[in-house]
Amino acid sequence: MDELYKEAGVQRKYRPFRFPYGDKGGENKELLQKYLAQQGFDKVDDTNIPYSWWKESELDKDIDTLWTYDFAEYNIRPDSGFTMDECLMKGVEFVAPEFK
């Protein structure tokens, strides 16, 4: 990513990070969080996330960012039967979805 910013001539202001598939490293989570901090990754401002489970799960303490809900945009493809409204817009309307 740094190379892309450099090539584009744009200053990179933030370095957020999200683990693929929400895998935060299991028993290595604490070490990975320290590594992300040492490498200069930025914590996204999550102070306005309204979900109680966000803080109960201590996600507000992590450097990496976990998604708050799944837009399911990966379902939108030819002949899938899924539309932009079904996947993306429906997700935006949830005020406080339950975490299960």
pTM of the model: 0.65
Q: How far apart are CA 11 and CA 33, in angstroms?
A: 25
Which pLDDT tens digit goes with each residue over 45-84? 888 888 888 899 999 999 998 876 666 777 778 888 777 7
Q: How do the domains of the chain map onto residue ranges? A: 2-68
Q: Give the pair of three-digit tokens for residue 79.
A: 């002949």
Q: What is the pLDDT of residue 28?
A: 97
CA angle 43, 15, 21 (to 5 degrees): 75
Percent of the chain with pLDDT over 70: 80
Q: What is the pLDDT of residue 100?
A: 46
- Greatest extent of the chain over all pairs of C-alpha atoms, in Å: 45
Three-state secondary structure readout of 66-79? CCCCCCCHHHCCCC
Strand, helix or coil for residue 37: helix
Q: Which of 6-10, 72-76, 96-100 has the lowest mean pLDDT?
A: 96-100
Mean pLDDT of 10-25: 90
State the amino acid at position 100 in one-letter form.
Answer: K
